[in-house]
Structure 1
């Protein structure tokens, strides 16, 4: 293995390392906690979704939350126990906010699920191997926690040519990766081999700072003859940043706004490589990690392998926390970590260090002073930015200028704030500005989507309106062509011809004509059906059948024509009525068209010509109407007394309605009182007129008294039957039901008597008894319904237990069998 060239990065600082506090003791296992808090958001991207229920017992390594997107990762139980809480719990964040989490109460057994290791992973398809890593819940253990499976799936256009393993661990105090490389070098190299098999890079580079000699020796010994290269470079902060490490090891720079994959690079942390080894070769999901416990407020600083979800206060107690000396508890290192507002938060997948510092160890910074433009921040910035300009733009919320000066290339390493003589918290300004820009861009994106949806809707409405307009114009053109053809032959002639050709007036068809018309239609349908069969299968039998059907259809049509002619000659009044009716419709349509044109304020020449033509047609149509009306027989005169009686009734009813409306007023004024008196006088006169009209009108034939009695008996029977049904549904007592049944029987006898008295034949009464449903049968049916619903619910669940499904099916079978047996009895 030959040494290769090492490049340097711009800027950087050398803060006190203080790694000797925790790197002298060997790696130790943390004690099993009684309670584990597992936040659903432990990685970048979409939080996981719970797939367990309250009170459920889970085993170590069992999946308890599913990935809910491509950039997401599942969550597994770090130990066996019972799910006690699914909801808001303390979350490790500087704001002290709560986060959705799953809480497991440990049973102390620490019992594993059945594991499925894949020692022959080289025989697996690439997608299957990626799925193992994805389902193990692995996310980056050295940075922001990006899901590893998503990082290992670059776009097809990007070919990864260099795999870089990050073992630099440049931040002060943190020694978790150092101890991992020392004590788990073999697992580290095996995990690197799995990643190299997945992405097939040309080179594999392992970058380690020169302040870790034991780790360097252990990794080189574990590599052996493998084609991996260990590159040792000088200690400088922040050489462990992804972009900075790529530049140090390869001399290439990731473009602004780009990703390492854009230049064929892929970086993975050493802890992530060990997690990949555990997932593939051991079948274990990511349920623990190595965390540094350090700081002068601890009696025994160390590195521990801790279960995800372990409360921080239990870990610190294990390391000998001295509460009276604790000033700040930082999750992460002193440069990029954040102060925890509470000790009740849990360890998550990205927790690489817990720094319990004293006041003397990390004193609070002095108050910030105005920027003096010294330029120290620009000299140490590893991304070659202008921190002082970014600071001023952030203060002025000049977001476009911030983006133009590459704010999002800032890795928030804190080097600028570390050297600032004015003690300005520059990183906090940058973080706040990034958040504001992201929020504004999100709002702009939503507004843009809304605008696009609105424009698409407007376009759809415009197209629909254009289509309606085109259809309207087409209808108008067809109507114009029809009118032009009609005008050429003359409206009166057309009306007369239509009346002459009309087949005996549909409204006046006799029963014989209707029957013959139906027979002719059925004969034609049968003939057409037989002709289709003959066209498909030509046989002598079908030809004879078609000939017979054709003769039958012709005979039916001849009979229909003869009947229609007889009807036309026998009822000339019907022909004349139809002619007059059509002439009226024609005249009304012409008048409507003339009124529409006459409303135009300034008609053009074409419209004037159309108006003259319509007047001529209207004149001819009125002549035809007069001729048809004179030929039609005069309608039978309605007796004058009937008309007077009808008008008197209507007048009296209208006056009564107006009178009731005014009488409803609580405090009528003088005008309303006068109107009320006038209406009463008019109603009195109208009632006199009605009485006189009733006396003058011919007496209507009296209805037999038996008809009224029969009608009342039927109504009474229907009411008694309805009362009995209502009482049966309500579950009334037997005495009440017996009374209602007797009343129903009496009503039936009264109906029979009324039918006899009315001299009408009595209808045949058929009563069918409908057996009711007793309580036992109702309970059995309810049990069948519940059992079927529970089974369907389980069948819809993706992760339903087979045992639960079998139990639900057995329950349904038993319920159906019991119901069938009861109904048979």
Structure 2
């Protein structure tokens, strides 16, 4: 029997329209806009100014603290300005604007495709190299990878869990990455194991990707301690806490860190980026992005430079369809609608979903019928109907007591609600307010 997590979950339609579409190398943009806040934690601090010449891989912003990550140029050319731009959240954020001239890379980067298996670096040297390369979690949260690889005092890693689930509907970037770069991912996993000093790694892949399960299992057989765990299809299995539960049957305590279970979770894209950083001296300045939608002429997977305007990738798929109702950065469950096609891609840009008007239209909210479907669907064991009422009333103190900070914003509650209530919207509002309250106490 296939494994899965123990509480809640829903089954949205896969809609993996771009599955098995080979990764296309996207054109280098004419202008790149590289955001300074591409990770959880402190934004990076610019170390370049207007007029400076940069190459592909040049560090253009340094980490703003321990929980932060440096940012590197994805293009070569001249810095036009350091200014702000509307990002995927809809708010103006600081960014570095670069006018592209050619495509000159830093000489230290190994551009060859030759597989490099051997890694003779110490654990500390690996973590430092990952930190310097600006590697962050590519599964969505963008948590700086070097922080995860440095467990706090009193905790110890027992295993690495690699997230190859990609449970978000429509998205196929991780799936295709596994099919095209399985060996590099395995070397990256080996490096991650060495970094946290463990001898076990599990790769969780949902059963709707049988080709990836077969290939990764075959390749993993040559690597000691690495095994593939096929999982039942269930959203949101790609959530860190849900994946730990599914793979090793341990639960992260409320308010606790995943390391409390002995597991360090990394995305397959992150494992690949770690391989490139440690073995090829390549900072994180590009990633695989799915561009998809039911009306899109050619749903595709692109290897795109960070800072590429989303419009450019949409154009490469045949342009914006006439019946477009909404464009989402990410997937339909956890992604956010963007207000402009000029929004630049970032390290956390897993996909661009173009929804038609029929899909994008929200149904009219009705009165709660007390069916408790949202409670049954919540993978964190919360009561979304109650949390939404508290948010509407502004009772944020009670929301804190009811564990709103455990909410992973997966949208399972809203997806399953027959009354079409905006439960996720209220939970997000409450979580942001309670989070601000908690920070103000410190």
SS in 2 for 1:102: strand
In structure 1, C-alpha distance between the alignment counterparts of 2:260 and 2:313, rounded to whole Å: 41
Map 1:119-518 → 2, pairs under 5 A: 122-226=119-223, 227-360=225-358, 362-445=359-442
Structure number with the bigger relative contact order (C-alpha 8 A, sep ≥ 6) is: 2
Distance 2:255 2:7 in 1: 18
Task: Tell me what 1:89 maps to.
Answer: 85
Higher strand content, 1 or 2: 2
Q: Displacement, 1:68?
A: 1.6
How far apart, CA to CA, are the structure 2 residues paired with 1:250 and 1:5?
Answer: 13
Q: Deviations over 1:518-560 (max 9, x none)?
A: xxxxxxxxxxxxxxxxxxxxxxxxxxxxxxxxxxxxxxxxxxx
CA drift at 1:422: 1.3
Q: Distance in 2 between matches of 1:86 and 1:393?
A: 41
| Residue 59 of structure 1: aligned partner | 55
Residues 596-675 of structure 1 aligned to structure 2 (within 5 Å): none
Q: Deviations over 1:253-312 (max 9, x none)?
A: 111110111121110000000000000111100010000010023211110100000001
TM-score scaled by structure 1?
A: 0.52
Cα distance, 1:224 vs. partner?
Answer: 2.4
Using the alignment, how far apart are the partners of 1:173 and 1:229 within structure 2?
26
Counterpart selection for 1:48 from 27, 35, 44: 44
Shift of 1:346: 0.3
1:327-384 Cα distance to aligned partner (Å, 9 max, x none): 1100111111110011111000000010011113x14122222222111111111111
User: CA contact under 8 A between 1:238 and 1:413: conserved in structure 2?
Assistant: yes
Counterparts of 1:387 and 1:430 in 2: how far apart (Å)?
Answer: 7
Matched, 1:35 2:31: yes
Superposed displacement of residue 32, structure 1: 1.2
Asked whether the equivalents of residues 134 and 283 of structure 2 are also in contact (C-alpha less than 8 Å), the reply is yes
Give a deviation string over 1:419-452, Cα, whole Å, max 9, x none.
111111111111111111222333344xxxxxxx
In 2: Cα distance, 1:312 partner to 1:197 partner: 36
Do structure 1's residue 102 and structure 2's residue 101 form an aligned pair? no
Alpha-carbon separation, structure 1, partners of 2:290 and 2:368: 36
Count of residue correspondences: 437
- Looking at structure 1, the residues matched to 441 and 382 of structure 2 have their Cα atoms a distance apart, in angstroms, of 27
Bigger Rg over Cα: 1
Pairwise mapping of residues 542-621 of structure 1 onto structure 2 (< 5 A)? none
Deviation of 1:125 (Å)? 3.1
Deviation of 1:115 after TM superposition, in Å, equals 1.2
- TM-aligned CA distance change 1:8 to 1:345, over 3 Å: closer
Distance 1:440 1:309 in 2: 33
Q: Is the 8 A contact 1:6 1:250 kept in 2?
A: no
- Provide the C-alpha distance between the structure 2 equivalents of 1:331 and 1:277, rounded to a whole number of angstroms: 26
2:71 equivalent in structure 1: 75
Give the C-alpha shift of residue 404 in structure 1.
Answer: 2.1
Distance of 1:275 and 1:122 partners within structure 2: 15
Q: Secondary structure at the match of 1:371?
A: coil
Partner Cα distance (1:344, 1:219) in 2: 37
Range that drifts further, 270-279 or 58-67: 58-67
Q: Do the aligned partners of residues 37 and 363 (structure 1) sit closer, same or farther apart at CA in structure 2, a change above 3 Å counting?
A: closer
> Matched residues in 2 for 1:338 and 1:144: separation?
13
The counterpart of 1:115, out of the listed 94, 108, 111, is: 108
String of CA shifts for 1:141-179, please: whole Å, max 9, x gaps.
002100000111011311100210000001110001000
After superposition, residues 521-532 of structure 1 pair within 5 angstroms as none
Paired residue for 1:12, among 9, 17, 24? 9
SS in 2 for 1:87: strand
Q: 1:402 offset after TM fit, Å?
A: 1.6
8 Å contact from structure 1 (residues 22, 292) kept in 2 = yes
The structure richer in helix per residue is 1
C-alpha RMSD over aligned residues: 1.7
Shift of 1:107: 0.7
Q: 1:5 to 1:345 in 2, by over 3 A?
A: closer
State the alpha-carbon separation in 2 of the partners of residues 224 and 441 from structure 1. Answer: 47
Consecutive unaligned residues of structure 2, counting only runs of 5 or more, are: none
Partners of 2:363 and 2:395 lie apart in 1 by 27
Relative to the length of structure 2, the TM-score reads: 0.95
Against the structure 1 CA distance between its residues 156 and 372, is the aligned structure 2 distance closer, same or farther, given a 3 Å change threshold?
Answer: same
Instruction: State the shift of 1:390 in Å.
Output: 1.5
Q: 2: distance between equivalents of 1:289 and 1:46? A: 22
d(CA) in 2 for partners of 1:354, 1:299:
14
List structure 1 runs of 4+ shifted beyond 4 angstroms.
116-122
Preserved CA contact (<8 Å) 1:169 1:178: yes
- Name the SS of the counterpart of 1:217 in structure 2: helix
